[in-house]
Structure 1
Amino acid sequence: MLIGEVARRSGVSARMLRHYDSLGLVRPTGRTVGGYREYTVEDVRRIFYVEGLRSLGLSLRQIARTLDDPGFAPSTLVGDLIRRSEERLHREQELLERLRTVGAAEPAGWPDVARIVELLHGLASPNAARRQQAVLASGEPTSVPADLIARAVLTESDPNVAGALRWALARAGGDVVPSLASGLTATDPEVRRRAVLALAELPDNEATARLTEALEDPDPTIRRPAALALAARGVTEAVPTLLAMVVEGTNDVEAAELLGTLARDPTWADRIMSALVDELSTADPPSRIRLTQALAEMPGTIALPTLRRLTHDDDRRVALLAKSLSNLLSPE
């Protein structure tokens, strides 16, 4: 077949076929008496091989090496193409996310765009100090895309950088609670914990509602900071978790202080006292010591009768501690 007919049948232009010939990629087996290129069936088959490999993303030079290599393994080639395509898609996805972030910030001019891009580069640094510096130097609160900071909070593992991000988030304004709240449903408990810590620094009612939901989390490392933040806001739903913290000895001093604060509400004083007494009746010795200490945090002298009873406790350490606390709380 002459080049024109091959071009019609293969869909490859005559110009490209000549280019293939000049590269030695697909050379026609013969020539006519007049010197025209003449392709055999095998030549045409090679043309289809070339086009097929081009459709997979190979360059012409790579195709030439592939077709002429007797040790060519298609599975190796396809695996390499998959890897490179995934890397390319990852880069494109990152670019798309950066563009969306810049667009969502509604920059007023190119200086704002440059500031956001600089922040993005800084947050992507493998160096924690560089990430922290990028956050602290991000400019006026209104120039920082709050949603970007919220997403960074959920992925940041360094405690110093995370603290800087939460600081920036509190200054940035805007409705960032939905972005943070999405972290509460993550499968990774560390992401859920980061979300709780960030929500704890936002004073609005929606953040409080999300923190209340976090009290139901199966992981105690998420429930505890949520309870501490909620109790500081006067949310009594935190009481069971605070009691558990006193019993377990995790942030027990802070939990006891907050139980005392919540007990200043007369409607909750008796409930909290009853809960402490109930725990005292079943807890192990170290927990009973902590629970006795927690009684001293109750407002006024409402814990005094219980402490006086505990001065006769079978556990000598509990009895001595109760006596000391009773003396402190007793009216002059």
Structure 2
Amino acid sequence: MRHDPTLGRLPASVAAVAGDFSLSVIEGLSRAQKALPCRFFYDARGSCLFEEITQLPEYYPTRTEIGILNASAAEIANGFSSGDVLVEFGSGSSRKTEILLDRIADRIVYVPIDVSEAALAEAVLRLEEIYPALEIRPLVADFSTLTKLPHEFSGSRRTGFFPGSTIGNLAPNDAAALLAKFRKVLGERGRLIIGVDLKKDPRVLVRAYNDAAGVTAAFNLNLLVRINRELEGTFDLTTFHHKAIYNPRSGRIEMHLVSDRAQDVMVCGRHFHFVDGESIHTENSYKYTIPEFRALAERAGWKSSRVLTDASEQFSVHELI
């Protein structure tokens, strides 16, 4: 079914996005522990590099989650009724969603939400070819600030889909706040299907974020390339290197860009000094045990209905109601 490309469209300003980037970079580089928000990884080049990462032998999360979804898709699909709405938060390419749409496309409305209008348009065109009976209502928005769906969906039962363990990029308190926001958007009758990476041997985790081919390093360093291109930055990429470590106290992988020498960098006309070995903290990826994530979801007003895992329990997919 053809979609109305303007339906559900939220106003977006290129200038506002650029302003958010510059302000966030300046604020982050001004901290005692320099830091940059991981949401800025995903320019065109960063998105391509991340797709490469998902295919790497060391990077287990994507293929493991897909395996879980393939094995349990029929079971998940049984929870959908005619007229239900499938809401995907941060839909991107919608590739994983096809595993569910193969079974429910003829009876639901699909609402992909993404900040990238280009990514949404590309995904919608592809899905229209694959599922001609599917009603698609794309929404250009930042899911982290979304508080409600368009009024037309107010009477429908809504299921949220949030794969990829993106929830792990947030500190636990922030993750609980986002889950509570999803609870509000999806309504009291809603449910949430969410991917969550599990705690495991730290060596497996570190390899997944520090691959032998250097793709994750290129992905991390591309953030400096973007700053140079868009914010008149003067980062010398040959003097920074990628570092991924597991922090057992916090239960998270941390990614850093480490300066190999003392140096000065300009961004937006502002001066920033680095001492030798100083890092920019670019990403966290929190890992959970199943009881830990259940407790986190309960704090946000959800109840765990079931948990799906692979045989080795490396990854989990939770159904929350």
- TM-score, normalised by the number of residues in structure 1: 0.20
Whichever structure has more strand as a proportion of its residues is 2
Specify which structure has the higher proportion of helix.
Answer: 1
Q: TM-score, normalised by structure 2?
A: 0.21
Structure number with larger C-alpha Rg: 1
